[in-house]
């Protein structure tokens, strides 16, 4: 028999969860509580909720980072497409040297640019959906009257208005690029 490092009660040396306080893996140094410090009655529950909060937070940060990367990929990809399109547009002025391959590429670039913007937009919508799913799950685990975690003090994300404004570039940039490519496709013919 050994003592649980979370609650101090005797448990089996092979225990992975303390049957007194519910601490997960109470024999590791991560859960070592100094005996000279007083801990509130719900210390194990607090650590469990803290662990859950950190998992929610990490998942939201992961999805938001993916959104930022996708917007960066979109801007880099579209820059290459617009550069190629502008070069072909310059060649098109000299109709004698505008070959059939260049003409095909001139007509194909708007389709490719539109496709890339559409794919990135779909990925951004999926990531936003995952963030909303995590936020809703966190609301179930951490209600507003929670004694350990307050939604006001430790929210998984900022308020509704700030989230709305922060998501505008990621949601609208792909749509702007798609509209631009549609315009160029129909006006470039």
Per-residue pLDDT of the chain (189 residues; tens, 9 = 90+): 566 766 767 665 555 566 666 666 555 444 444 444 444 556 677 777 777 778 888 888 899 899 999 999 999 999 999 999 998 888 777 766 667 788 888 889 999 999 999 999 999 999 999 988 888 887 777 766 555 555 544 555 567 788 788 888 899 999 999 999 999 999 876
Instruction: Give exposure, 88-121, as e/b (b: 16+ Cβ within 10 Å).
Output: beebeeeeeeeeeeeeebbeebbebbbebbeebb
Q: Taking the complete model, does pTM exceed 0.85, yes or no?
A: no
Helices (H) and strands (E) in the chain, counts: 3, 2
Question: For strand 10-11 and strand 2-3, is the pairing parallel, antiparallel, or unpaired?
Answer: antiparallel
SS3 state at 164 = helix
What per-residue confidence (pLDDT) applies to 161? 82
Phi, psi of 10 (to 5 degrees): -75, 130
Among 126, 129, 130, 114, which Cα is nearest to 58's?
A: 130
């Amino acid at each position: 028999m050994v003592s649980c490092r979370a609650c101090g009660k005797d448990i089996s040396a092979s225990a992975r969860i303390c049957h007194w306080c519910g601490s997960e893996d109470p024999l590791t140094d991560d859960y070592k509580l100094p005996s000279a410090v007083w801990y509130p009655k719900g210390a194990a529950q607090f650590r469990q909720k803290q662990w859950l909060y950190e998992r929610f937070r990490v998942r939201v940060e992961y999805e938001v980072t993916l959104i930022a990367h996708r917007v960066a990929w979109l801007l880099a990809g579209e820059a290459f497409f617009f550069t190629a399109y502008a070069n072909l547009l310059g060649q098109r002025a000299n109709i004698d040297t505008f070959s059939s391959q260049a003409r095909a590429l001139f007509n194909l670039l708007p389709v490719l640019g539109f496709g890339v913007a559409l794919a990135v937009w779909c990925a951004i919508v999926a990531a936003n959906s995952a963030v909303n799913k995590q936020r809703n799950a966190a609301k179930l685990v951490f209600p507003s009257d929670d004694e350990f975690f307050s939604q006001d003090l430790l929210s998984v994300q900022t308020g509704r208005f700030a989230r709305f404004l922060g998501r505008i570039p990621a949601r609208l940039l792909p749509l702007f690029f798609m509209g631009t490519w549609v315009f160029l496709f129909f006006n470039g013919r």
